[in-house]
Amino acid sequence: MSKLKPILPKAKAREAMEEIKPAFASQEAVTEANRCLYCYDAPCIMACPTGIDIPGFIKKIAYDNVKGAARTILTANILGNSCARVCPTKVLCEGACVLEDRDHDPIDIGRLQRYATDRVLETGEQVVAVSPLKSGKKVALIGGGPASLGCAAELVRLGHEAVVFEKKEHPGGLNTYGIAYYKMKPEISLAEVEMIEKLGVEFRCGIEVGTDLAVDKILQEFDAVFLGIGLGQGRRLAIPGEDLPEVADAIDFIAEIHSQPLETVKLGKNVVVLGCGNTAIDAVSQAKRLGAESATILYRRSEEEMSAYGFEYALAKSERCEFMFQVAPVEILETNGHVSGIRLAKTDSNAQPITGSEFTVNCDHVIKALGQTKMEKTLLEWFPKLKLGAGGKIEVDPLTQETSIPGVYAGGDAANGGAEVVNAVAEGKRAALHLHQTFTGEAVTPPAQTTRYGIEPPFGSGFYEPVRVSG
Ligand SMILES: Cc1cc2nc3c(=O)[nH]c(=O)nc-3n(C[C@H](O)[C@H](O)[C@H](O)COP(=O)(O)OP(=O)(O)OC[C@H]3O[C@@H](n4cnc5c(N)ncnc54)[C@H](O)[C@@H]3O)c2cc1C
Ligand code: SF4
């Protein structure tokens, strides 16, 4: 039994986890929209993996056509509302905005996108058009995260059937269970799922493919399969003390925050988080917000080498989270079967422990944010001939998302190794466009593709017009 306890009362816990980016009021949104230069060949569009027509929707906001703006956004990216909240806009669309080069603040694209899409999510109004023509083709999507949602929504829009199999109680994947609460509440993800369901996507939740339902059965029933199963469990440390009751994985810690009332989330007074990627930052920030006296990141490399975005790091520091660089965990210490500290070694410039440098830090809660494992074993059990690439990622044709097995597609973290929500949606959508072409012979121009490392041509400028869609 763990000794962790809830710390803050209900009202304080809720206040502490309020969304960090407040919504625009109408007049603010119109004023911000009017700053846009409506650039020709707009770089912000090129920087969006889903190729949203950003100046197009901003212009609609400037003319108070909020529903039209939402339609432009959601037609290109069905998770446009959650992306408005969780996308690293500073390195994507806003990072590419020409105003930044002219010593002005870039357009606040994320908040404008949220302003437009909040309205339709709140009212439940259906603004995205669905083809009245039906092909009779059926696609099974394994996993209910952003990749499958992006693919399934596009398939039904183009006139095909889409059935999503999700092992958890609710669909949405990490959007529902993994994003930092102060960026997006799980209700937002579930409202998006509801909107996608209204488009015509069928969800079968609580079904773990491979355990509750054989893949062969799916292959018999469906014309094609999309694999959107994300990544596996958090990595293990393999040091003494790892199985003590106050040691948790960051993904499980964050999932707990999303699945129960905030005031019941248990944590220690002195929390340490191992790792320094974006997940580690999310975990440390949430521990501090929920009342930990100290919340400290321990990282074996230097400040310059951490993989967390600079703006996430700055946010955590502003919340008085602490950071120790060049230290590696050696042992998690216990007193009477409970965590009482962690023994660390200083590391050299190659992140190797320095002999004789060990010291102890007091803590009562250890959260591991060491990355997630891949799902190679499961995938090879399902498809023994499936080609896997470096590090166990599913190998796909980058233009179509088709795997080495004809009719089997993949996207999102399982195929890209772990990127952002917007990449998962873009990849799902690309698979749907190729499936559509395979089913009907009609081609649809795919969206531009961007990675966290920059824009990857060669799709040309951004947004696309789906064919055969009316409404
Ligand atoms: C802690 C954390 C914070 C993040 N924060 C951000 C952020 O702020 N912004 C951002 O853009 N990105 C963020 N990301 C990344 C983003 O969440 C992922 O890139 C995105 O969710 C990937 O979508 P996906 O559909 O590929 O996988 P997932 O979201 O992981 O969804 C996969 C789904 O498949 C289901 N599944 C797996 N196996 C089976 C099976 N056998 N049968 C049925 N269902 C199955 C799972 O239950 C899950 O629901 C974060 C990731 C983590 C871990
Ligand atoms: S780059 Fe900036 S100014 Fe130009 S269209 Fe995009 S948001 Fe507007």
| Rounded average pLDDT over 194-212 | 97
262 lines ligand 2 (CB under 6 A): no
pLDDT confidence band for 467 (50 / 70 / 90): very low
Residue 150: is its pLDDT beyond 80?
A: yes
The domain made up of 138-232+373-448 has a fold known as: FAD/NAD(P)-binding domain (3.50.50)
242-300 pLDDT, tens digit each: 999 999 999 999 999 999 999 999 999 999 999 999 999 999 999 999 999 999 999 99
pLDDT confidence band for 22 (50 / 70 / 90): confident
Does the domain formed by 19-123 have CATH 3.30.70.100?
A: no
| Rounded average pLDDT over 127-132 | 92
| Rounded average pLDDT over 215-220 | 96
pLDDT value, residue 443: 80
Query: 151 CA distance to ligand 1 centroid (A)?
Result: 14
Ligand of minimum distance to the alpha carbon of 57: 2
Angle CA 56–437–448, to nearest 5: 35
DSSP SS3 for 408? strand
Query: 16 CA distance to ligand 1 centroid (A)?
Result: 25
105 lines ligand 2 (CB under 6 A): no
pTM of the model: 0.92
Asked if residue 396 lies in contact with residue 147, where contact means CB atoms within 8 angstroms, the answer is: no
| Rounded average pLDDT over 365-374 | 93
382-409 pLDDT, tens digit each: 999 999 998 889 999 999 999 999 999 9
Query: 126 CA distance to ligand 2 centroid (A)?
Result: 27
pLDDT value, residue 446: 52
Taking the CA atoms of 144, 405, 392 and 436 in sequence, report the sign of the dihedral they define: negative
List residues near ligand 1 (CB under 6 A): 86-87, 142-148, 165-168, 173-175, 178-179, 183, 208-210, 228-230, 251, 254, 278-279, 282, 412-414, 419-422, 424
109 lines ligand 2 (CB under 6 A): yes
pLDDT value, residue 471: 31
Q: What are phi and psi of 44, to 5 degrees?
A: -65, -35
Nearest-angstrom CA–CA distance, 6 and 380: 41
Among 229, 252, 409, which is best to mutate for testing ligand 1, by the most ligand atoms less than 8 A from CB?
A: 229
Q: Which two tokens stand for residue 47?
A: 């920087």
Nearest CA to ligand 2 atom 1: 97
Residue 36: is its pLDDT beyond 80?
A: yes
| Rounded average pLDDT over 33-59 | 95
pLDDT confidence band for 20 (50 / 70 / 90): confident
Angle CA 147–183–152, to nearest 5: 20
Residues for the chain: how many in total? Answer: 471
Every domain of the chain and the residues it spans: 19-123, 138-232+373-448, 247-368
In the chain, what percentage of residues exceed pLDDT 70? 94
| Rounded average pLDDT over 88-111 | 91
How far is C-alpha 309 from the chain's CA centre? 14
Which atom from ligand 1 is nearest to the alpha carbon of 419? 19
Nearest CA to ligand 2 atom 4: 39
Residue 460: is its pLDDT beyond 90?
A: no
- Interior/surface letters 112-129, b for 16+ CB within 10 angstroms, e for the rest: bbbbbbbbbbeeeeebbe
Residue 469: is its pLDDT beyond 80?
A: no
Tracing tokens 């917000």 back to the chain, one arrives at 289
Ligand of minimum distance to the alpha carbon of 35: 2
Beta strands 365-368; 359-362: pairing state? unpaired
pLDDT confidence band for 459 (50 / 70 / 90): very low
Q: Which of the four CATH numbers 3.30.70.360, 3.40.50.720, 3.50.50.60, 3.30.70.260 does domain 247-368 have? A: 3.50.50.60
pLDDT value, residue 220: 97
Examine residue 384 and say whether the peptide bond preceding it is cis (omega within 30 degrees of 0). no
| Rounded average pLDDT over 302-316 | 93
Ligand of minimum distance to the alpha carbon of 255: 1
Q: How high does pLDDT run on average in the chain?
A: 92
- The two counts, helices (H) then strands (E), for the chain are 19, 15
CATH fold match for the domains 19-123 and 138-232+373-448: no
